């Protein structure tokens, strides 16, 4: 009986694998035409500074969206396809161009200090001319290098650390800020914090989700924030959804936060309304963006 149960389970498993592979192929061929069809767009999620009485909007993270056959596919599903096919290089350039010009236009319209965060894949860092392309994009958009934050996850950094390191050094020497995304979830090696020229760590939302009621999540978040402080890195908490999490983070001296409590990622015109003071955060506040940060 055990044997036949095992067989059935294996059949189910390989069925699932086959379906996954099929889905991947379908997405890949649909994606090949997505940008030509105008199906890709960016949304922007506020990042807030916590010190002071009221959180203040100091930057936005650009997040890629793909609307395929009328519905949004998660980047967790389609980014790996773009990486696999190599299209992430062209799409990644497009994301950078779009985000830098958008944030530059917000800067010129009354938010001179607004920062622009963009996610990178390691495939992009593996291009030997990547830093030069980013410099070009900055020049074209007029965005100051110090207003750009490039985010990369630990697992992406692992991929080819010598080339990644060289590229990150070049980017940092342009004056761009570098953030380690989803910190604590990869094959976390604290060595990365020393080896790579980082300015910011982002505490993964899975730790914030459990805090402050779950003791382990709380301990891990607290330790990461402390580590950031000791190393002179700015710490951003991701996935803040509740006032209690914000209170906890404030108490730990975490200076920046991002999450649905403030705002979901928004289309540019919706973010514009927030900047104009015509709309509130999704949580409690009607923020005035920070001045002179």
Site string for ligand C2E, 38-67 (x = CB under 6 A): -------x-----------------xx---
Among 49, 98, 102, 121, binds ligand C2E (CB under 6 A): 121
**Choosing among Mg ion, ligand C2E, none, which partner's interface includes residue 50 (Cβ < 5 to 8 Å by kind)?**
none
Instruction: Tell whether the torsion through CA atoms of 67, 70, 71 and 76 is positive or negative.
Output: negative
Among 259, 268, 283, 289, binds ligand C2E (CB under 6 A): 259
Structure-token pair, residue 85: 């096919």
**Residue closest to 263 by CA, chosen among 48, 41, 110:** 48
Q: Helix and strand tally (H, E) in the chain?
A: 12, 9
Asked if 121 is part of the footprint of Mg ion (rule: CB under 5 A), the reply reads no
Asked if 154 is part of the footprint of Mg ion (rule: CB under 5 A), the reply reads no
> d(Cα 94, Cα 271) in Å, to the nearest integer?
20
Least CB distance to ligand C2E at residue 64 (A): 4
Eight-state DSSP code of residue 147? G
Asked if 79 is part of the footprint of ligand C2E (rule: CB under 6 A), the reply reads yes
> d(Cα 211, Cα 218) in Å, to the nearest integer?
5
Nearer to ligand C2E, 112 or 282 (CB): 282
Nearer to Mg ion, 64 or 89 (CB): 64
Among 212, 239, 268, 287, binds ligand C2E (CB under 6 A): 239
Eight-state DSSP code of residue 70? T
How open is the CA angle 46-99-262, to the nearest 5 degrees?
5
User: Contact residues for ligand C2E (CB under 6 A)?
Assistant: 45, 63-64, 74-76, 79, 95, 119-121, 151, 181-182, 205, 238-241, 258-260, 265
């Amino acid at each position: 009986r055990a044997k036949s149960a095992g067989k059935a389970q294996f059949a189910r498993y390989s069925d699932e694998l086959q379906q996954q592979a099929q889905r991947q192929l379908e997405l890949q061929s649909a994606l090949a035409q997505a940008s030509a069809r105008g199906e890709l767009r960016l949304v922007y999620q506020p990042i807030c500074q916590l010190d002071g009485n009221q959180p203040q909007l100091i930057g936005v993270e650009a997040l890629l969206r793909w609307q395929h056959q009328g519905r949004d596919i998660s980047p967790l599903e389609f980014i790996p396809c773009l990486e696999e096919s190599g299209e992430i290089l062209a799409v990644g350039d497009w994301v950078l161009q779009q985000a830098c010009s958008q944030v530059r236009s917000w800067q010129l319209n009354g938010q001179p200090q607004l920062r622009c965060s963009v996610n990178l894949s390691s495939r992009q860092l593996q291009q030997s001319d990547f830093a030069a392309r980013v410099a070009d994009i900055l020049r074209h958009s007029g965005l100051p290098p110090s207003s750009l934050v490039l985010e990369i996850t630990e697992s992406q950094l692992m991929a080819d650390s010598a080339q990644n390191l060289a590229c990150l050094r070049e980017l940092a020497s342009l004056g761009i800020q570098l953030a380690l995304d989803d910190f604590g979830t990869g094959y976390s090696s604290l060595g990365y914090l020393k080896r790579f020229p980082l300015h910011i760590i982002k505490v993964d939302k899975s730790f914030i989700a459990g805090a402050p009621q779950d003791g382990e999540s709380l301990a891990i978040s607290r330790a990461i924030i402390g580590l950031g402080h000791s190393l002179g890195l700015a710490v951003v908490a991701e996935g803040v959804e509740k006032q209690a999490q914000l209170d906890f983070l404030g108490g730990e001296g975490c200076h920046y936060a991002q999450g649905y409590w403030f705002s979901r990622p928004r289309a540019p015109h919706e973010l514009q309304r927030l900047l104009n003071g015509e709309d509130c955060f999704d949580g409690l506040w009607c923020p005035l963006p920070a001045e002179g940060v």
